[in-house]
Amino acid sequence: MTSKQLNLILKEKTGISEKNLNTLSEALGIIIGDAMAAGKEVILPRLGTFAPRVEDETILDDRTTGHKTLYPPCLKATFAPSSSLLTLIKQ
C-alpha cells in the first residue's frame, strides 16, 4: 500500500482532508525523528515502539575505492511491533 492509497483510506475513515493528512503524516514523522534524536522512544498503542539504536564506528573496506574507511557512529531508527500487532499478524 502506497502512501497515496493510505491517505485515501484514511480520508474515508476520518474525514480529514488529503492536505491535512499529508501535513499530519509529515508532522508525525518529524515528531518521531526528533524524539529519537533526543534518545526517546515513541510508543504508539496497538502498533509498536519506535526507538533509536546506536551503531558504533566501524572500519571497513570501501568497495568502490578499495580503501579502508572509518565510518562514524550513527543513530538508526528502529521499530518494535507491539504484542497485539504481532498477534494480529499471526492470526
Partner 1 sequence: MANDNQLHLNAIVEKLAQSTRLDPQVAGDYIHALTQIIGETLAQGEEIEIGGIGVFRKSDETSYVEFEPCNRLAQLANAPFETFEPVVLEEDYPVETEGADTSTTHTESKPFAPEPKEATISEPESEPVAAFETEPETITTENNTLQHTEMESSSKTSSSKIFTLLFIAGLLTGICMGFIAGFLLRPVIIPSTCAHAPTETVEAPVQQPATEMAAPTQPEPEVEKPQAPAPSEKSAVVLDTVKPGTFLTTLSRKHYGGRYEFWIYIYEENKDKIADPQNVPVGTVLVIPPRAKYGINPGSSASISMAKERLRLYETKGE
Is position 18 an interface residue for partner 1 (rule: CB under 8 A)?
no
The footprint of partner 1 on this chain (CB under 8 A) covers a number of residues equal to 75
Return the bridge partners of 80, or none: 49
Query: What residues have CB less than 8 Å from 79, skipping those under 6 apart?
Result: 48, 49, 50, 51
Is position 8 an interface residue for partner 1 (rule: CB under 8 A)?
no
Is position 76 an interface residue for partner 1 (rule: CB under 8 A)?
yes
Is position 85 an interface residue for partner 1 (rule: CB under 8 A)?
yes
Query: What residues have CB less than 8 Å from 58, skipping those under 6 apart?
Result: 70, 71
* Binding residues among 19-58 for partner 1 as defined by CB under 8 A: 20-48, 50-56, 58
